Amino acid sequence: MRAVVHDRYGPPEVLRVAEVERPVPKDDEVLVRVHASTVTRGDAMAVRSVEYRFSRLVTGIRRPRRTIFGSEFAGRVEEVGAAVTELRVGDEVFGVERGANAEYVAVRESGVIAQKPTALTYEEAAAVPDGSLLALTMLRPVSPDGKRVLVHGAAGSIGTGAVQLLANHFQAEVTAVCDTKDVALVRSLGAREVVDRLRDDFTKAGTTYDVIFDAVGKHSFRRCRRSLKPGGIYVTADLGFMYHVPLLALVTRFAGSRRARLGIGRYRKEDLRLVREFIEAGRYRPVIDRTFALDEVVAATRYVETGQKTGNVVLRVCEAVPGGQPGPGANLPV
C-alpha cells in the first residue's frame, strides 16, 4: 500500500510517499481503507521534533520509531478481527490512529474510532477528531459551563473546536480572538463577540473573563492576568517560553486568586462518540482550510508549519464512489 513515511527527523521534505506493507489486523482490530486523512500541527511538530526534543523519548531518540506519518483518518472498514464485536465490514468510520497517512490503517476496536457522521464526507470527517477532542479535554477540567470565556487563537484547529464546544455544549458566553480574515467564520461558529487581534488588544479593553483559553499558546498568563476575573483561570495549549507553564500552574495554585493551567489534550473514544452526536444534531462542524492530494504531503505540512491555517488541512488518500469502493484512478493495494 502507499503511505507517507519518514525515516529521520527534519523539515517537511523528509516526508515521502512509499510502498509499504499493508497492516494485518489483529483479533481485536479492524482494517480501515483510508479515504481521507489530515496533517495536524502535532504531526508537523513530531516530524521535526525540534521544539520539544524530550518528545523523542517517546517517538525515538535518534530516528522515529514509527515511520508512517499522520493521525486522523476517515474511511471504510475492510476487514475485522475475530474478536471484534461492534464494527462490521463496510462501516464508514473516522478516528485517530498513528500512521493514518496511508491507504490502510489497523485500529483497535476499543481505540479512538467511531461510526462516521452520516452527513459528512470522508474529507470533512477526517478534519473532526484532533481539534474537537483536544479542545474538549483541555476545557472540561476548568468547568466552563455557562461562564464567560475568551478563546485566543480561535481560528486554528483547536480554536475552532473550542468555540463551538463552548457555545453549543458548555453553553458558555464566548469571546473569540482571531485575525481579520477569520472574523466572520469564527462568529458563525457561535462566538458572541469576536475581537480582531490585528486591530484590537483584548487585554486593554477592560473586559474580564472567568476563563481565558489560549488555544495556540501565544499569549502569556502575565499579559492575560488583568483580563481574568478574581478566581479566573488561564488555560494554555502550550508549555510556554522555557516550558514555564507547569511551574506557573503550581505557583498560582497557592498564590494569588487567578490560576494558570496547562491544557493537556487527549484523544478518547467516548469523546469522539459525543462529538459525533453534536455533529448529527447540527451543533458542530469541521472547518477545512485546504485539501491536498497524498502526494502533496510536503506542501501540506509546510503550510501547517506556518501556524496560520484556518481550521484543518486535509489529505485525500483515495477517492470514494457510491458503494464505498475506491474510485477509478484510486491507489489500489499491492
Ligand X SMILES: NC(=O)c1ccc[n+]([C@@H]2O[C@H](COP(=O)([O-])OP(=O)(O)OC[C@H]3O[C@@H](n4cnc5c(N)ncnc54)[C@H](OP(=O)(O)O)[C@@H]3O)[C@@H](O)[C@H]2O)c1
Q: Which residue has the cell 486568586?
A: 257
Q: CB of 321: closest distance to ligand X in angstroms?
A: 31
Measured from the CB atom, the residue of 99 and 263 that comes closer to ligand X is 263
Q: CB of 96: closest distance to ligand X in angstroms?
A: 12
Measured from the CB atom, the residue of 178 and 228 that comes closer to ligand X is 178
Measured from the CB atom, the residue of 30 and 134 that comes closer to ligand X is 134
d(CA 65, CA 59): 6
Residue 134, interface with ligand X (CB under 6 A)?
yes
Q: CB of 262: closest distance to ligand X in angstroms?
A: 7
Q: CB of 286: closest distance to ligand X in angstroms?
A: 12
Name the segment binding ligand X (CB under 6 A); options: 105-113, 148-156, 185-193, 293-301. 148-156
User: What is the longest distance spanned by two Cα atoms in the chain?
Assistant: 63
Do residues 265 and 109 lie in contact, with contact meaning Cβ atoms separated by under 8 Å? no
> How does DSSP assign 36-89, residue by residue?
EEEE-HHHHHHHH--TTGGGHHHH-SSS-SS-B---EEEEEEEEE-TT--S--T
Q: Which parts of 256-285 interact with ligand X (CB under 6 A)?
A: 263-265
Q: Which parts of 50-69 interact with ligand X (CB under 6 A)?
A: none
Residue 95, interface with ligand X (CB under 6 A)?
no
Vertex 135: Cα angle to 263 and 196 (nearest 5) = 95
Name the segment binding ligand X (CB under 6 A); options: 6-14, 35-43, 59-67, 267-275. 35-43
Residue 218 CB partners (closer than 8 Å, separation 6+): 152, 153, 238
Measured from the CB atom, the residue of 154 and 320 that comes closer to ligand X is 154
d(CA 207, CA 322): 52
Q: CB of 325: closest distance to ligand X in angstroms?
A: 33
Residue 238, interface with ligand X (CB under 6 A)?
yes
Residue 67 grid cell: 515511520
Q: Which of 28, 79, 179, 193 binds ligand X (CB under 6 A)?
A: 179
Q: Which of 118, 143, 171, 308 binds ligand X (CB under 6 A)?
A: 308
d(CA 320, CA 286): 19
- Alpha-helical runs (H) found in the chain: 41-48, 56-59, 122-126, 129-139, 157-168, 183-188, 221-224, 245-254, 269-280, 297-305
x-marked contacts with ligand X along 198-237 as a string, rule CB under 6 A: -----------------xxxx------------------x
**Could you give the 3-state DSSP secondary structure of residue 99?**
coil
Q: Which of 75, 156, 190, 232 binds ligand X (CB under 6 A)?
A: 156
Name the segment binding ligand X (CB under 6 A); options: 15-23, 31-39, 157-165, 269-277. 157-165
Residue 75 grid cell: 474511511
Binding site for ligand X (CB under 6 A): 40-42, 45, 134, 153, 155-159, 178-179, 182, 197, 215-218, 237-238, 263-265, 307-310
